[in-house]
Chain A
């Protein structure tokens, strides 16, 4: 999948300088700070980061699903239209229509007092011109498509009658009802067991192929990224610190944070040795250090890192990093510390 920013094909979604700020009693907090990225047609982009890095807020900001006192600025270009500037009724047609979203917790995202059939048909009613009987037929097809056995007989069941994995399948069926071209998935498998996670991730990949959808997948799990994404963007303290093709980033990280994240995950072959941990904890968004936000935890940091914030810049086709010392980080390799 060619996914470099400078390839000839036009991106499906283009995000420029997206910022999301929340007004709090203690002053404004910028959860997403001038984030820019592209999603190519049919591509799976992984947004990776730890809690509080702004990855989920970024995803929600794309569709302006940010409650007051949060404000979104920047430009999100979708099929030549800017979602940030779009009027509310227009945006409602795009939301859940051309762009669908699935969430981490299927139990709280589904309405517990409506049957799953009704919840799928709701979306069909909003975004298609099918009549009642055609909607019901389509709902059965969708449940079948996402791998729910005996779909026709499950249509009148309520969410609590499904297991966690099956509920996530129902949520995907609802998302697919409108035939979306972009699926935004916020930690879709975090609440699931590993064998079920595996099934859901593979389902998302199959559906991507089948419907030529683009997918933005928010996750904290590097294993999930390695197994599903074409390209990844690593977020730290509200900003993208590194992005590029997954294979390249895993082989040669250029940002110390990416390197630290990869080293923090145990791999086979070095059992019971010390892991390459990152000292300290992620900063509070209300107190982001000056200069590079990662500098207090970074072993490569120098005076310039404490003073100037590095900009995200391309250093090779399709690879971007925001680090003053990225060549040194790359040269240090990914080997796990002894």
Chain B
């Protein structure tokens, strides 16, 4: 896609903010302390084009699942907006809202709790079809048969209950349910992380095939870097509720431009036993989302942090074709021009025994 006449992105997330207030104890209230909140999303910017797969990666607590839930409006944003087809989704009402709900579908992580155990597969799929009135009632049985074939499940699956299926098969039912209403966008939150490795591959293969067949746009949220690399056209890396780097998959994985992305990639164990390292890639742990660091969110763990990182929060700036990173250093891997400006941050790693 050329930058010159870029079509409008299908989904556009602008400065999305989501906070979850914490319950406040009576002592805090009496003392007049302000209520605290978990800062789940702290100004997320991301665009998703029609037909592409965007991977969202990050560690637990980075806000990736919250973002996925905001995309399908399971949560409403506190600030910022999400545009779908150019229009703010918060403004959708009535029939428009229903159409949005149909066009953006979510597949959940846990294939055990996301399907109603008391409903047969026929009812699970039929409910989606009748709620959105995508097919007249007479055509529903035929459509159910079609959907089962689409996700490679036997036809007799329709009359069985979710507990009669394995985890991988259940995830196929979840995919069929999402596809039943012919959506434009699939939001998959940790689609395969509950499954065994050999079964993961089956579901990933199915998703890749379906995307080609049905020209789906996919937002693939996962913590597994190898999987995201395999499946995505573009990848966004999140840290403490912000996208800190976004770019084409290959560029981001081979030449990361944010120290956190680099640490994340280095920490993921290599599949090649001849290429081992003995030094941990990242030091420290994620700060509490209740008290965000001043300045750059990664400054508590960054080996390259200098005084500006503690004063000013960097924004996403261009690093290459479609590649942006939120870091004050443009070439953090290279020696600094002015070492005096780099604060002494080479604190001993916790593992140097």
Contact = CB atoms under 8 A, between A and B. Distances in A.
A158 to B, nearest CB: 17
Nearest to B53: A272
A277 B229 contact: no
B59 A195 contact: yes
Given A199-B280, A226-B273, A281 B230 contact: no
B164 interface: no
Contacts of B169: 281
Contacts of A264: 197-198, 200-201
A31 to B, nearest CB: 17
Contact of A275 (B201, B264, B273): B201
Interface stretch (A18-26, A32-40, A62-70, A216-224): A216-224
B272 A193 contact: no
Contact of A194 (B198, B264, B350): B264
Contact of A199 (B227, B229, B233, B350): B350
Given A50-B198, A263-B201, A272 B208 contact: yes
B278 A220 contact: no
Interface string A207-238: 10010000000001111111111000000000
A237 to B, nearest CB: 13
Interface string B250-288: 100100000000011011111111101011111101100
B10 interface: no
Contact of A265 (B226, B253, B278): B226
Interface string A171-185: 000000000000000
A113 B286 CA distance: 25
A149 interface: yes
Contacts of A266: 204, 226-227, 229-231
A118 interface: no
B60 interface: yes
B281 to A, nearest CB: 5
B269 to A, nearest CB: 3
A58 B270 CA distance: 26
A165 B350 CA distance: 12
A277 B201 contact: yes
A128 to B, nearest CB: 21
A199 B209 CA distance: 37
Contacts of A199: 280, 282-283, 350-351
Contacts, number: 149
A132 interface: no
Count class of interface residues, chain A: 35 or more
B223 A282 contact: no
Contact of A250 (B209, B273, B280, B281): B273
Contacts of A330: none
B208 A267 contact: no
A226 B279 contact: no
Contacts of B281: 195, 198
A177 to B, nearest CB: 17
Interface in B193-209: 196-202, 204-205, 208-209
Contacts of B199: 277-278, 281
B249 interface: yes
A27 interface: no
A271 B225 CA distance: 12
Contact of B269 (A145, A163, A226, A276): A226
Contacts of B225: 194
Nearest to A51: B196
Nearest to B263: A195
A126 B276 CA distance: 37
B154 to A, nearest CB: 13
Interface in A260-303: 260-268, 270-279, 281-282
A193 B204 contact: no
Given A220-B196, A277-B198, 9 more contacts: A166-B285, A262-B271, A265-B197, A271-B231, A272-B231, A274-B208, A275-B201, A279-B202, A281-B199
Interface of B: 59-60, 166, 168-169, 196-202, 204-205, 208-209, 223, 225-227, 229-231, 233, 249-250, 253, 263-264, 266-274, 276, 278-283, 285-286, 350-351, 353
